[in-house]
Amino acid sequence: MSEPSPLPSVDRVLNLSAMQPVIARFGRTLTVAKLRSVLDEARTGWRIGAAKVSLSEEEAVARCVHQLEAGEQRSLRPVFNLTGTVLHTNLGRALFPEEAVQAVTDVLTRPSNLEFDLASGERGDRDTHVEDLLCQLTGAEAATVVNNNAAAVFLALNALAARKEVIVSRGELVEIGGAFRVPDIMARAGCRLIEVGTTNRTHLHDFEAAITSKTALLLKVHASNYAIIGFTAAAAEAELAQLAHRHDLPFMMDLGSGTLVDLARWGLPVEPTPQQAQAAGIDLVTFSGDKLLGGPQAGIIVGRRELIKKIKKNPLKRALRLDKMTIAALEAILRLYRDPDRLAERLPTLRLLTRSADDIKAVAARVLQPLQNKLADYYSATVCDCASQIGSGSLPVERLDSHGIAIRPVKKGRGEGTALEKLAAALRALPVPVIGRIEDGALVLDLRCLDDEAGFISQLAELNVAP
């Protein structure tokens, strides 16, 4: 005869006074399911004789609460981005200004005129909420938006060049994050890729020689995530536009990141704008909303009215359209661009990119001591010079002077790398995870993007620093 289980029953634990606030907090159904799981786990251990199992009622309650609280934590959470990459793809890219947050809140909590024309009282087009602004800011005749720049390129190619040829320089057949390749998107769009020139040098005559009756358009892809230096050549955009127009062909440019202002006015590296592209004669320009623009994930297409009209008639446009939250955020952010003199103060992306090295160094000085106090027995921490990058394929070789905290193990020699990895994991396990980078034998916390110093310091008490 088997020995009875030394575990309390589900009903007995549920009727304890200590369980009543737990049920009130998490609900009876979820609490019962989690309690059963706790008891089943303990019972399994008892049955296989892996260990002597004795689980008191109090322990059952404690385990149940612990697991319920762990399960309550959201998967998508805020983090401290101390990587030194401002527009970090894996960490959500651009941050919203307050105006965009409020705009999203408004359309989430109340009905809106998403596809309703208030003047006529009839059905409207959701693009109208941002099209006029995009035309004002870029000088384009028309504009449309989809859910990211890859979708913008795909939709434009499918609408304008399906079953026909698209000519592009071999040096611009880029691959971006997630193994996304320009040749692949062209193939999926139903186009035939005609690559011309060489990796480092492509001339106007290369394009001209490739034009046939099957050519649908000329395409230029901005090399946003890499740079070729040395013996290089590229056909001028204005000359390519003239060539395309002589053959009655559109000239399209995938601008990649895209910014609506001249970054040089803030001392930042120069990045081409949609305005410059159109001034050179480019008929259609695509770019992202959540990179240098500083807005939500979106693919923006601006250019000639007849080309935009064809793109909007493509059935795929509906499948790739923006939701009301993204449109609300994008409209709010585009409105900020109408006042460029205050843009660096109001747009978080530009504010972080233009943050002075002296300001960042002052932040480092303030957070150093609390961090040293926590790490003292196992790690040393010092203020260091470092270099931030813009990120998300924008200006890949450019760096911004910054400052941070370099953390190194006190115990030198074998195991230093493991100690740094353990500390990095401990920082990620904090209530608001801290993400840094390991380089040159140190865990570096670049402080360019640290806004909430108090929040960062306050949670250091929960950091487990033992290697």
Full 3-state SS string of 234-254:
CCCHHHHHHHHHHCCCCEEEE
CA dihedral 410, 411, 416, 422 (to 10 degrees): -70
Strand partners, 116: 123
Where do we find the tokens 């006074």? 17
E-only strand ranges, 186-283: 192-196, 215-221, 251-254
Q: 386: Cβ–Cβ under 8 A, 6 or more apart, which residues?
A: 84, 402, 403, 404, 406, 444, 446
pLDDT at residue 183, as a whole number: 84
pLDDT at residue 411, as a whole number: 86
Of 106-115, 127-136, 171-180, 425-434, the poorest mean pLDDT is in 171-180
Q: What is the mean pLDDT of residues 225-235?
A: 72
Kindly report the number of other CB atoms within 10 A of residue 323's CB atom. Answer: 12
Q: What is the mean pLDDT of residues 217-240?
A: 82
- Coil/strand/helix, residue 114: coil
pLDDT at residue 414, as a whole number: 82
pLDDT at residue 407, as a whole number: 97
Please state the separation of Cα 172 from the chain's center in Å: 23
Do 362 and 372 contact (CB within 8 A), yes or no? no
Inform me whether the pLDDT recorded for 2 exceeds 90: no
pTM of structure: 0.89
322 exposure class (CB count in 10 Å sphere: 0-12, 13-18, 19+)? buried
Q: What is the mean pLDDT of residues 200-217?
A: 94
Q: 96: Cβ–Cβ under 8 A, 6 or more apart, which residues?
A: 104, 295, 296, 329, 333, 348
> From CA 335, how far away is CA 339, in angstroms rounded?
8
- The percentage of the chain sitting over the pLDDT mark of 90, rounded to a whole number, equals 78
Do 449 and 86 contact (CB within 8 A), yes or no? yes
194 φ, ψ to 5°? Answer: -120, 105
For the stretch 368-413, pLDDT in tens is 999 999 998 899 999 999 999 998 665 666 789 999 999 999 988 7
342 exposure class (CB count in 10 Å sphere: 0-12, 13-18, 19+)? exposed
Buried b (16+ CB within 10 A) or exposed e, 283-315: bbbbbbbbbbbbbbbbbbbbbbeebbeebbebe
Instruction: Identify the CATH class of 98-344.
Output: alpha beta
Kindly report the number of other CB atoms within 10 A of residue 14's CB atom. Answer: 18
Where do we find the tokens 């449309």? 144
For the stretch 132-152, pLDDT in tens is 999 999 999 999 999 999 999
Question: Residue 417 region, left (φ>0) first, then alpha (ψ -120 to 50), else beta?
Answer: alpha
Do 329 and 90 contact (CB within 8 A), yes or no? no
pLDDT at residue 7, as a whole number: 82
Q: Which pair of tokens denotes residue 146?
A: 């989809």
Q: Which pair of tokens denotes residue 180?
A: 């996304």
**Is residue 303 within a helix (H) or strand (E), and if so which, with residue range?**
strand 299-303
Indicate if the alpha-carbon torsion angle 204, 207, 212, 218 is positive or negative.
negative
Per-residue DSSP letter, 171: G
Q: How confident is the model at residue 81 (pLDDT cuts 50, 70, 90)?
A: very high
pLDDT at residue 45, as a whole number: 65
Q: What's the fold here for domain 80-89+353-462?
A: Aspartate Aminotransferase, domain 1 (3.90.1150)
Nearest Cα to 68, choosing from 9, 23, 7, 11? 23
Kindly report the number of other CB atoms within 10 A of residue 66's CB atom. Answer: 12
Q: Which pair of tokens denotes residue 38?
A: 């706790």
pLDDT at residue 224, as a whole number: 62
Domain boundaries, the chain: 10-72, 80-89+353-462, 98-344
Do 138 and 274 contact (CB within 8 A), yes or no? yes
